[in-house]
Each structure stands twice: as structure tokens, then as C-alpha cells.
Chain A
Amino acid sequence: MTVQPQVENPSVTVLERSEQPLRNRRRARRALKRLPVWTIVTIVVVVVLYPQVWMILGSFKTQSEFLSNPALSLPENWIFDNYTTALNNGNVSRNYLNSILVTLPSVALIVLIGVAAGYALEVLVWRGRKGTLLYILAGIMVPGQMILVPLFTVYFRAGLTDSLWPLIITYTVMGLPLTTFLMAAYFRSIPREIFEAATVDGSSPLRSFFVIGLPMMRNSILTIGLVQFFSVWNDLLIALTFTTRPDLATIQVGLLSLSDQYGSTQYGPLFAAVSINIVVLLIVFVFLNKKIMAGMAAGSVKG
């Protein structure tokens, strides 16, 4: 089953090679057929990348260039001053470390707990699971801001406020409803027979979650993990509410000091910082994306 796609392609090449005269015409026809697709893809890419190009250009501009020159003009000098400023702003390395220390455990917890709950709610059969799913769904409906004040009190009384724990715990709780809910939906789109067929060999139910449930949903799990990673990484509200010590500040909090009290912003360094941030996230993304690909190739369990 793994080899399926590989079989397909060689056979096509073999076919084409054997019919040399037809090859060009066929290729032309195929290119014509693909034209609308490529037009759409090009438009999408331009729409998405255009503003980002502006941001990267902005990261090389001085404040007055940024304010005086047209938005898409090239910087007058390609200098890295803004990057130096961004990297020397406050305690950036500490901010990054905090962001990592908070994000990784949160995402791991969200995914593990959320996927397990999704499995229990969708694949396992018991009465009341519909109601429980709705109960968890309610968590998506309430405005997140409303948990801040009570949780602050709880963390304070528990003596947790001088650590990163409030952030990790809160992110986990905030991410759970969506993860559980989406995982349940993903599990639902798999025909039941597949789970049943895979369980005939009599493995224990808990084992079957780890051996069948988890690997089968690798794509979805990684997708959700990715989504949660970015939402935790980019959060500002919770990080602001539960930390006051500068050495607990995450990267998003650190970015605030690039603005001053009177509403003025250092655009160049801000965009430089965002660009650096993007590179960091891109590495994560590409890495996980590879994993998704690998998961797909190995995901033959599916067929």
C-alpha cells in the first residue's frame, strides 16, 4: 500500500516514453489544462506573500524611510541595524527561552490530553458521550477573557504567580476544548469498521488507543499540534495577565517595549523582530510539515 503512489508515476513515464511522437502534444494539452490551476495558485501566492514582502522590506528601513517612502519601496540601504536593535531589545534570549519553556509543554499536554478525550468521546461507546462533547464544546463559546480574574486569584493563592506554571496550565486548559472537539470530528470521519477491524486481534482498549488511534490520526494530530503551537506562541493576553517579573516575559510581551508611552512605535525593529520570529516558526513548521509528509507515506494503516 505504501508503494501505491510510486507505482503510479513510473507507469506514466513508461507510457509516455513508449509513445514519443504523442509526447509533446500531450504535454502541451496537459499544460493548457493545468493553466487555470496555475493561475489560481499564482494569484493565491501573490495575495498571501505581497504583504509579507512589505513586512520584510520594512525590517530593513529606518524610521524616517518607513514613514516617508511609499509602502513597497526598497530600503535605501540593506543594513541590519534593526535586527541588532531587535536582538538587543530588553532580554530577547530570555524571552525566547520563556516562550519555548511555555509553549512546548503546553502543546504536548494539549495534544495528549485532547486527543485522548477526543478518542474517548468519539470512538469509545458509552452513554452520555454526546452530552459530554457538548459540555466541552461550551468551552469554545465562552469568552476567554472571563477566566483571567478568577484564575489569577487561584494562582496567587496557590503561590504560583512567580513561575511559568500559570501560563502552561492556562494554555493547556484554553487549548483543550478546541482540540478535543476537532479530534472528535476527525475521528468521526473515519469509518468505524476500520477501528473495529484493527481491534479484532484482541488488543486491550487502552493499547488500541496508543497502537491504532494515535498513529492513524497522525496528520490530524500534527495539524492540531501546529495550530496550538502558533496560538500559544502568539498569545499576549494570558502572558500579560499572569506574569509581572521581566525574567518571566515571553517574546510577545518583549515586543511591547518597541513601542513607547505616547503611541510611537519603532517600526523597523518591530518588523525585524517579527521576521526573526517568522524564521523560528518557519523552522518548526517545515520540520512538522516533513513529519506530516512522512506520516502520510507511512500512514498505510489508513488503506
Chain B
Amino acid sequence: MNSVFGDRKTIIILLAPALLLYTLLKIGPVAWSLGLSFFEGNTLRGFEFVGVDNFTKFFTDDAALQSLGVSVFFAIVATAGQILLGYLLALLYVFVLRKGSSLLRTIVFFPAILPTVAVALLFRSFVAVGDNQGPVNDLINLFGGESVEFLATTSGTMATALAMTLWGSMGFYAILLYAGLLDIPDEILESAKLDGANGLKLVRHIVVPLSLPILLSSIIFSLNATLKVFDSLLALNNGGPGTSTAPLTLYMYRTAFEYAEYGYGSTIALVLTLLCLVFTLAIFRSSQRKAED
């Protein structure tokens, strides 16, 4: 058997294109950029070696540390929400609606295809105050509350951004997880049902373990995507009020491309990459421990 699944020629044919393209055009450029963490300057001005100066700068740079906090907070909350909602929806599709889930799947996935700028505009107008007050404040007024200017505060902006992110991506994660659940062979479920497993029990003991690979992959993907959140916070409130909701990517982008300090921008990128690595490895380790149980 292993001779069939271990055929070297096959491995090379199937893997080489991906590995080659990926190494040449992604890892190479990234390595070049990250290498510039130790330099100062940009492609026009030229680069000057400064050793670890950029790193010491990073850890004394209030704006950078604030952004780091924003990214981590956003990633944890958004990931928890995305995966939870996505998984619940996927379960709903597969086990409750079954064949009838097609329409709902389409509808819920839909927001994922809207451009972020449009979605941000939409949510801005939803929480607007003043002359053309949005429905959120109408609702607050209805219950006797005073209108809240959400985007004038850090917590309000964060809450809006999270709502926007969940709204936009839960359908995406639902589909991602749904495809994983679909691939679970029916016999396994049938035989579990025959054994008397039902409802929550079935989900907990059969469905979750069987979909664990795709669930973990989704968590990893979600964490890595939300740690690098960029356009939604930028489009919603420009990282404001002040810079209190500016994530690390935005700070990096501004540093590297607006302030033209490519070296320091690369340092921020490197920190971000390490952060992603730490989170990913943490998930991997916890999953391995679970597998051992």
C-alpha cells in the first residue's frame, strides 16, 4: 500500500509546483522584507544597517504596543465569535436543514462577497447619530436610552468592528466547516445513531472529534486572519478615535508606506509574524494534547 502512496515521482509532480511558486514568490520576498528589520530606510533612500535598534524602538514605542494590544484583543474575540457562529450554522445546515440548507447557505455567505469599504459604510450609517441617525440608536431611543455616538469611543468602535466582522464572515466559516462536516461518512453517523447517540451527545462525541481537523484549521486560519485585520478597522473609523483601534497591520502599513520607513515597518511585520506563529503553535499543541486524551 505504502508503495502506492509513497511514490516519489508522484509526490514531486504534485508538490513541486506549489512549493516552488510559494518559495520563490512568497517566502523569498517575505524573507527579504523581514531581513530589513535590521535596517533603516526605504527602497528610494537606500538602507542602513542599524542592528536591533528597530526592535528596542518597537518595545518602547507606545503606539506600537497599543496596536499590538488591539490586534490581540480583536483576534481572540473575533475568532471565538466566528468559529462559534460558523460551527453552529454549519451544524444547522448539515443536521437540521439538510438538503434544504442551500438557500440559507447562500444568503448567509453573501456578506463575505461585499467589498469591505461598502460594509464599513453600511455599519457606519447603522450606528450614526445626529441628523440621519441610524437604526441602532433609533432602537436605543425606543427603549428610552440616549443616543450613543459609537464611533467616538474606543469600546464603541471595537464593538461595531466586531459586529461587522462577524456579520461579514460567519457565513464564510459556516461554509468552510460545512464542507468538512459533509465529508464525514454517513455510515459513521448512522452507526453512532444506532448505538443510541443523539442530539448534543452525537455532536460532542462523534461530530466534533471527526471534524476536529477542519475545526482546528479554521481556528488557525481565523486567528491568523484576524491578527492581521486591516481594512475593516481602517475603513470603519480609520483606527480611531485617535489611534486607539489601530491594529498592528495598520501601524505597519502607515510606517512602511505612508511614513516611508520601510525598515521599521518590516520590524513590525516580523513581530506580527511571530505573534501569528505563537498563536498557531499554541493551537497545535492544545490539539495534540486533546488527541492524546
Residues of A within 8 A of B (CB): 5, 37, 40-41, 44-45, 47-49, 51-52, 54-55, 67-72, 113-114, 116-117, 119-121, 123-126, 132, 136-147, 149-151, 153-154, 169-170, 172-174, 176-178, 180-182, 184-186, 188-191, 194-196, 199, 204-206, 208-209, 217, 219-220, 223, 226-227, 230, 233-234, 236, 252, 255, 265, 267, 270-271, 274, 277-278, 281, 285-286, 289, 293, 296, 302-303
Taking A48-B111, A124-B14 as contacts, is the C-beta distance between A71 and B104 under 8 angstroms?
A: no
5 closest pairs, A vs B, by CB? A141-B276, A150-B29, A117-B18, A185-B217, A120-B14
**Is B56 interfacial (CB-CB < 8 Å)?**
no
Q: How far is the CA of A140 from the CA of B4 in the complex (A)?
A: 31
Name the residue of chain B whose CB is nearest to the CB of A233: B113
Q: Mark B234-263, 1 if CB is under 8 A from A, else 0.
A: 000000000000000100110011000010
Q: How far is the CA of A208 from the CA of B125 in the complex (A)?
A: 53
Residues of B within 8 A of A178 (CB): 221
Q: Mark B145-184, 1 if CB is under 8 A from A, else 0.
A: 0000000000000000000000100011001101110111
Q: How far is the CA of A180 from the CA of B216 in the complex (A)?
A: 15
How many B residues are at the interface, by size bracket? Answer: 35 or more
* 9 A-B residue pairings within 8 Å (CB atoms): A44-B108, A71-B132, A124-B5, A145-B269, A169-B25, A180-B18, A189-B214, A208-B4, A285-B106
A173:B113 contact, CB within 8 angstroms: no
B113:A119 contact, CB within 8 angstroms: no
Question: By CB atoms of chain A within 10 A, which of B92, B131, B138, B185 has the most?
Answer: B185
B25:A234 contact, CB within 8 angstroms: no
Q: How far is the CA of A67 from the CA of B124 in the complex (A)?
A: 13
A302:B183 contact, CB within 8 angstroms: yes
B10:A120 contact, CB within 8 angstroms: yes
Q: Which B residues from 120 to 134 make CB contacts under 8 A with A?
A: 121-123, 125-126, 128, 131-134
Taking A114-B18, A124-B10, A208-B4 as contacts, is the C-beta distance between A138 and B167 under 8 angstroms?
A: no
Q: How far is the CA of A277 from the CA of B18 in the complex (A)?
A: 31
A124:B29 contact, CB within 8 angstroms: no
**Is B21 interfacial (CB-CB < 8 Å)?**
yes
Q: Nearest Cβ distance between residue A263 and chain B, in whole angstroms?
A: 11
B122:A146 contact, CB within 8 angstroms: no
B32:A150 contact, CB within 8 angstroms: yes
Taking A40-B92, A71-B132, A176-B18 as contacts, is the C-beta distance between A189 and B111 under 8 angstroms?
A: no
Identify which of A47, A154, A209, A274 contacts B167 (C-beta below 8 A): A47
Residues of A within 8 A of B33 (CB): 146-147, 149-150
Residues of A within 8 A of B187 (CB): 303
Q: Nearest Cβ distance between residue B246 and chain A, in whole angstroms?
A: 14
Residues of A within 8 A of B22 (CB): 136, 139, 173, 176-177
B249:A145 contact, CB within 8 angstroms: yes
Name the residue of chain A whose CB is nearest to the CB of B125: A71
A126:B213 contact, CB within 8 angstroms: no
Taking A113-B17, A289-B106 as contacts, is the C-beta distance between A205 and B5 under 8 angstroms?
A: yes
B135:A143 contact, CB within 8 angstroms: no
Q: How far is the CA of A120 from the CA of B118 in the complex (A)?
A: 40
Residues of B within 8 A of A126 (CB): 6, 8, 11
B214:A185 contact, CB within 8 angstroms: yes
Q: How far is the CA of A103 from the CA of B88 in the complex (A)?
A: 31
Q: Mark B23-43, 1 if CB is under 8 A from A, else 0.
A: 001111110111000000001
**Is B66 interfacial (CB-CB < 8 Å)?**
no
B107:A51 contact, CB within 8 angstroms: no
Residues of A within 8 A of B195 (CB): none
Q: Nearest Cβ distance between residue B228 and chain A, in whole angstroms?
A: 5
Q: Nearest Cβ distance between residue A285 and chain B, in whole angstroms?
A: 6
